[in-house]
Chain A
Amino acid sequence: MPVLMDNGAGRAAPRPAPGGTAASPRRGWWTSRRRDQLAGLLFVTPQLVGTALFVLLPLGLVVWYSLHEWNVLADTFDFVGTDNYRELVDDPKLPGVLRSTLFFSVGLVVFNLALALLLAVLLNQRLRGTVVFRTLFFSPVVVSLVAWTIVWGFLLQDNGGVNGVAGAVGLDGPNWLRGEWTALLSVIVVQVVKNVGLNMVLFLAALQGVPAELYEAARVEGASRWTQFRRITVPLISPTILLTSIITVVGALQVFAQIAVLTQGGPGTSTTVLVYYLYQQAFQFHQFGYGSTLSVLLFLIVLTLTVVQWRMRRKWVFHEQ
């Protein structure tokens, strides 16, 4: 791939001939506009080829595969039309999977955005030492995801650190990863703490862009801090709220490693989110056809949510450039 880039780049910029003739656009057919046309196309070629090969082609294939009964082990690949989609509707496990996906995603997004905003507001008070705390809150973002998950798995064992601390203050903690609701809650918390620093930093940057005069004026009018927050802060940072919520919603639907390491989707299907179910069907049960159908479902959900959120921006995003 570096070779490809060299070729493209080399041809994109013919060395100007001595005397600067290449800079004069008048000469004949090889005008500066034609050169720009070629340069533009060559510059975007690697990205375009990559998108075609690794995004669009697989997307087409996944739809095609979803119309087939395809068991890798048995080496069968038969066109079955919409049978897989009918199986999808009748799949007794799917309602549970979708419910887990819903609870997980909603819990994650709400918890993540609320905590990110709270931390950003706290750190925006310009007290001493906030840079240190900002670093601390951001640090899990750079800790290897699986390493982070393993430590939490260790802490959440029945006799692990979390219950050890709970026991020290006289509480009897549950076996977190073995109960349906506590397992779901655990996966959400582990993921939020891992990534909330990213949203916190984006919120912090947005908060610093809110003009101080507005608060000054509101104080003169006698508005409480809560009113100031609701009427000034939230509207002014609403573009960032929109951006972070889109990123977080889509991110929530992609969570895989945490679940594979912490709970393997259990107990029952309480933490089997759609991506994990897709992985199980395709790569553990070798049902590539049905796995593809689940992929199409995942794609449609992501697409719908993104479009809906984008549409909603006019309603509640205060202003946009």
Chain B
Amino acid sequence: MNNRLPLRARVGIYGLICLLAIPFVFPTWWMVTSSFKPVSDIFAFPPSLIPTELSFSAYRRVFELQPFAQQYLNSAYIAAVVTVGTLAVSSLAGYAFARIRFRGQHALFLVVLVGLLIPSEVTIVPLFQMFNSVGLIDTHWPLILVPTLGAPSVLATFIMRQFFITLPGELEEAARVDGLGRLATFWRIALPLARPALGAVAIFTFLHSWNLYLEPIVFLSTPEKFTLPQALTQFVDAYGGPMWDVQLSAASMTALPVLVVFVIAQRQFIEGLAHTGLKG
């Protein structure tokens, strides 16, 4: 519609966009390039945008100072389990709330929605106490169970419900007339149609778990069990000051894989999030 913008306006818009893009792009660039610089160059003035010589010593030290591979694995498997679990829990509940008519449906939906109003920070003290009393402190269980079944999955259930409501019901009706049970209808008919919503929920859930910080530092105390966000902040010298080169190397290794996946699949990422349920 706005193809007829005058040239001057177009140049202006490009200029503004480029300027605004700096704080979005520069930090990641700086993180990766600085992680390859020798320590002496990290705070060099004037700053060099590209490292003059590649140094991998900081990367080696990441693995010497912490069980970083183990911590990487911890974060990855916790996020994977939470994502799969949340998809199962939220698609089942979302489907039932959207499609199946059963007594108590509305009351139960309201009960579940309460979860949207309660940030997990509010309940962190009692959750600590609850897991403490069953001996699950310093295990990964709280980081798996609470997001999968508690408040974070409520948002997922809500998104799934909104999506299932918008699906045309004829296919499912036909399947039911053909004698398919509820679970089979759900699994074979409804779920494949819900792929966009499932994708959005999966992305959200994975990132949420991958980024969790308060919960790990409250629940975990042995370095072998730490997750990545927690491990990143542990690279400090004897005086508690950050070892920048090591921190930046570890941060790069944490950020880059997800970033690469995102760049490859950015269309599905962004449009999935924009067009799913969240549209209000």
Residues in A with CB closer than 8 Å to B52 are none
Chain A residues positioned under 8 Å from B28 (CB to CB): 139-140, 143, 151
Number of interface residues of B (CB under 8 A): 113
**Chain A residues, CB < 8 A from B233:** 146, 150, 260-261
Tell me how many residue pairs across A and B have CB atoms closer than 8 Å.
349
Contact yes or no, B213 A205, CB < 8 A: no
Is B93 positioned at the interface, with any CB of A under 8 Å from its CB? yes
Q: Is B157 an interface residue (CB 8 A)?
A: yes
Query: In whole angstroms, how far apart are the Cα atoms of A155 and B29 in the complex?
Result: 12
A240 within 8 A of B: yes
Known: A143-B28, A298-B119. A151 touches B124 (CB 8 A): no
Q: A240–B115 Cα gap in the complex (Å)? A: 22
Taken together as a complex, chains A and B put the C-alpha atoms of A135 and B180 apart, in Å, by 43
14 inter-chain pairs at a CB distance below 8 angstroms, sorted by A residue, are A8-B92, A39-B102, A41-B102, A47-B92, A57-B126, A122-B20, A146-B213, A153-B242, A157-B43, A193-B24, A202-B273, A257-B229, A282-B124, A292-B125
- Chain B positions within 8 Å of A, measured between CB atoms, are 1-3, 5, 10, 13-14, 16-17, 20-21, 23-28, 30-31, 34, 43, 45-47, 85, 88-90, 92-93, 95-97, 100-105, 108, 111-112, 114-115, 117-130, 145-146, 148-151, 153-154, 157, 176-184, 186, 207, 210-211, 213-214, 217-218, 228-230, 232-233, 242, 244, 247-248, 250-252, 254-255, 258-259, 261-263, 266-267, 269-270, 273-275, 278-280
Chain A residues at the B interface, C-beta cutoff of 8 Å? 1-2, 5, 8-10, 12-16, 20, 22-23, 33, 35-37, 39-41, 43-44, 46-59, 61-62, 65, 115, 118-119, 122-123, 125-127, 131, 133-148, 150-155, 157, 159-161, 164-165, 167-168, 189, 193, 197-198, 201-202, 204-206, 212, 215-216, 239-240, 242-243, 250, 253-254, 256-257, 260-261, 275, 278-279, 282-283, 288, 291-292, 295-296, 298-299, 302-303, 306
